[in-house]
């Protein structure tokens, strides 16, 4: 059986204890969410649903459904009377740790969701750490030929490049989890 794998950025800092706790939640549910061992990976909403009770036990506010009322919104800009004027959705947020969590599935790499998550987290108010969970592998067919995209590996290479360059620095630390 494959395992959960994670890497923290910047690599010059020890992983946050809470990010290790979140990775352990993924490990607890590996048999039901593994993109390596299952014939077809789950949709991200199903992965989040599986992890929700354990994430809430850690203190995360977690999206409950796709209904507007059940989504988690993080402000980007504030207007009159301190009311948010622009906000982005996130799968889960822990206010004490200022930690956002995004879980991606099939469109993580090939659908550019990783890029979107990195940029939206860049502008969210009060977000100091992002945990981004992506499939270790994404299985799909092209012209009736089964193919595998190595989403975790591709995402890790991108994030490593971003954190290693010197032109700018992201204002948050990051943990990448491959499930």
pLDDT digits (tens, 9 = 90+) for 19-50: 999 999 999 999 999 999 998 889 999 999 99
Asked if residue 157 is part of any domain, the answer here is: no
Q: What are phi and psi of 34, to 5 degrees?
A: -60, 125
Number of domains in the chain: 1
Domain encompassing residue 34: 10-137+166-178
First and final C-alpha spacing in the chain: 12
46 by DSSP, 3-state: which?
Answer: helix
Residues 6+ apart with CB under 8 A from 109: 134, 138, 149, 151, 154, 155
Closest CA to 2 of 22, 32, 25: 32
The lowest-confidence range among 46-55, 105-114, 127-136 is: 105-114
Asked if residue 146 is part of any domain, the answer here is: no
Q: What is the pTM of this model?
A: 0.94
């Amino acid at each position: 059986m494959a395992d959960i794998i994670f890497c923290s950025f910047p690599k010059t800092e020890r992983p946050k204890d809470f990010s290790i706790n979140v990775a352990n939640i993924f490990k607890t549910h590996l048999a039901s969410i593994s993109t390596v061992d299952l014939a077809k990976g789950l949709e991200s909403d199903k992965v989040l649903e599986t992890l929700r009770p354990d994430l809430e036990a850690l203190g995360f506010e977690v999206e409950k459904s796709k209904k507007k009322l059940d989504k988690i919104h993080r402000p980007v800009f504030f207007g009159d009377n301190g009311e948010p004027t622009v906000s982005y959705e996130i799968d889960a947020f822990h206010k004490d740790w200022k930690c956002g969590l995004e879980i991606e599935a099939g469109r993580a790499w090939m659908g550019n969701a990783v890029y979107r998550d990195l940029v939206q987290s860049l502008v969210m108010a009060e977000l100091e750490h992002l945990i981004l969970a992506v499939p270790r592998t994404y299985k799909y067919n092209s012209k009736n030929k089964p193919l595998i995209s190595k989403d975790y590996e591709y995402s890790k290479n991108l994030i490593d490049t971003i954190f290693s360059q010197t032109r700018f620095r992201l204002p948050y630390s990051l943990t990448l989890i491959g499930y």
